[in-house]
Amino acid sequence: MLALAAYAAWPTWERKKISESLAQMLDAYRAYFGEVAVRYTQFAAGSSPSLEAARVAGRVARTNLEASAERFSVEPLTTASDMSSLAGMLASSHRFIHAAMSLEAGMSASAPNFSPEAFEQLAGDVSKTLLYCARLLRNGQPGTATLPDLRHDHQRLLEADAAFAGKHALLHSETDRITNSVNTLREQVERWSARFAA
Q: Is the Cα torsion angle 123, 129, 133, 135 positive or negative in sign?
A: positive
List pLDDT tens digits, range 76-125: 889 999 999 999 999 999 999 999 999 988 876 555 567 788 999 999 99
Reduced DSSP (H G I as helix, E B as strand, rest coil) percent helix, strand, coil of the chain, to 5: 80, 0, 20
Give the per-residue pLDDT at 73: 92
Give the per-residue pLDDT at 151: 97
Angle of CA points 47, 49, 53, to nearest 5°: 100
Q: What confidence tier does 153 reach under pLDDT thresholds 50, 70, 90?
A: very high
Q: pTM of the prediction?
A: 0.88
SS3 196: helix
Q: What percent of the chain has pLDDT above 70?
A: 83
User: Would you tell me which CATH number, out of the four given (1.20.1440, 2.60.290, 1.10.1400, 1.20.58), belongs to the domain 17-196?
Assistant: 1.20.58
* Comparison of pLDDT for 165 and 190, the residue scoring more: 190
List pLDDT tens digits, range 27-44: 999 999 999 998 887 766
* Comparison of pLDDT for 14 and 143, the residue scoring more: 14
The region of weakest confidence among 57-61, 97-101, 160-164 is: 160-164
For every residue of 20-80, DSSP letters joined together read: HHHHHHHHHHHHHHHHHHHHHHTT--S--HHHHHHHHHHHHHHHHHHHHHHHHHTSTT--H
Give the per-residue pLDDT at 15: 80
φ/ψ bin of 46: left (φ > 0), alpha (ψ from -120 to 50), beta (otherwise): left
d(CA 180, CA 178): 6
